Amino acid sequence: MNPLAQIGRVVLHLLAETGRLAFFLKNALLIGLTPRWYPRQILIQMIRMGYNSLPVIGLTAFFTGGVLALQIYIGGTRFNAESLVASIVALGITRELGPVLAGLMVAGRVSAAIAAELGTMRVTEQIDALVTLSTNPYRYLVGPRIVAGVITLPLLVIIADIIGIMGGYIVGTRSLGFNAGAYLKNTVDFLEMQDITSGLIKAAVFGFIIALMGCYHGFNSRGGAQGVGRATTNAVVSASILILAANYVLTSLLFAD
């Protein structure tokens, strides 16, 4: 096969996909986020995304905080800087690992679930049925999920921050021999409000990405069970990649000031 044709096909596909996503984004924002609103749907989605993600988020954050404490301690002893453990755990969790890991875990859970649900609704004509019942699917399905994502992810990250720091504290005091009071003092003294808010801003953006990717791939799924399966995979992969990319952009922006 002609390699040029191959490259051309990939580029065209990429451009077409970008265009489709741009149109979807436009509809999601201009139709999905304008009245009328469906508060009931937003609440249902928040419970599904947030409450049901708590165990996953809690466990992830706890072990990450613990590992962070161990690693920093090992690195710190080489420079006689073991005392930094508490503050670096707090900084690492709030600025970076809390939002990113929570984002990735929720992307796996929620993007997939949204894509599977909307994809099934698409292939079984339920989305068409919504339209025939005078209900705009962008407003009824997409809007509430995006709003729920943007609200829920920061809430989850607050919890991840707390549990992550607690994980570090438990490892630090139980197995690394830190004094509990000193550990907490170091955590609180070096942590600034901006560390936390920058993490929460990231989380809101990640929530948006997760909901958008789930809805986009679900909405555009074609061709029965196989199509829904493909949509689910694509949603998780694209959400995860976009989260990591957005994380870099946001970090460089938030560091700038």
Partner 1 sequence: MSEKQTHAAPPPDDIHVELKGLRKAFGDKVVLDGIDLKVRRRSSLVVIGGSGTGKSVMLKCLIGLLEPDGGQVIIDGEDTTHLRGRARDRVMRKFGMLFQSAALFDSLPVWENVAFGLIQGRGMRRRQAREKAIETLAKVGLGPEVADLYPAELSGGMQKRVGLARAIAHQPDIILFDEPTTGLDPIMAAIIDELIVSTVRDVGATAISITHDMASVRRIADEVAMIYKGRIIWHGPVSEIDHSGNPYVDQFIHGRAEGPIKMDVSQK
Buried b (16+ CB within 10 A) or exposed e, 86-108: bbbbbbbbbbbbbbbbbbbbbbb
Min dist. Cβ of residue 115 to partner 1 (A): 15
If the CB atoms of residues 33 and 250 are measured against partner 1, the closer one turns out to be: 33
- Hey, what are 103's tokens? 């984002």
List of long-range contacts for 163-166, beta carbons under 8 Å, 24+ apart:
163/57, 163/58, 163/61, 163/62, 163/65, 164/61, 164/62, 164/64, 164/65, 164/68, 164/89, 164/93, 164/97, 164/98, 165/65, 165/89, 165/90, 165/93, 165/94, 166/62, 166/65
Min dist. Cβ of residue 244 to partner 1 (A): 32
Q: Is 135 in the site for partner 1 (CB under 8 A)?
A: yes
- Count of positions on this chain that bind partner 1 (CB under 8 A): 15
Among 55, 132, 248, 252, binds partner 1 (CB under 8 A): 132
If the CB atoms of residues 37 and 63 are measured against partner 1, the closer one turns out to be: 37
The interface with partner 1 within residues 147-176 (CB under 8 A) comprises: none
Stretch of residues binding partner 1 (CB under 8 A), selected from 121-129, 157-165, 169-177, 244-252: 121-129
Tell me the C-alpha distance between 186 and 106, whole Å: 30
Among 140, 178, 206, 208, binds partner 1 (CB under 8 A): 140
The interface with partner 1 within residues 18-47 (CB under 8 A) comprises: 38
Tell me the C-alpha distance between 159 and 175, whole Å: 24
Min dist. Cβ of residue 96 to partner 1 (A): 36
If the CB atoms of residues 91 and 121 are measured against partner 1, the closer one turns out to be: 121
Among 125, 185, 222, 225, binds partner 1 (CB under 8 A): 125
DSSP string, 142-194: IHHHHHHHHHHHHHHHHHHHHHHHHHHHHHHHHTS---HHHHHHHHHHH--HH
Among 1, 35, 80, 134, binds partner 1 (CB under 8 A): 134
- DSSP designation for 221: -
Min dist. Cβ of residue 133 to partner 1 (A): 4
Min dist. Cβ of residue 224 to partner 1 (A): 12
Binding site for partner 1 (CB under 8 A): 38, 117, 121, 124-126, 128-135, 140
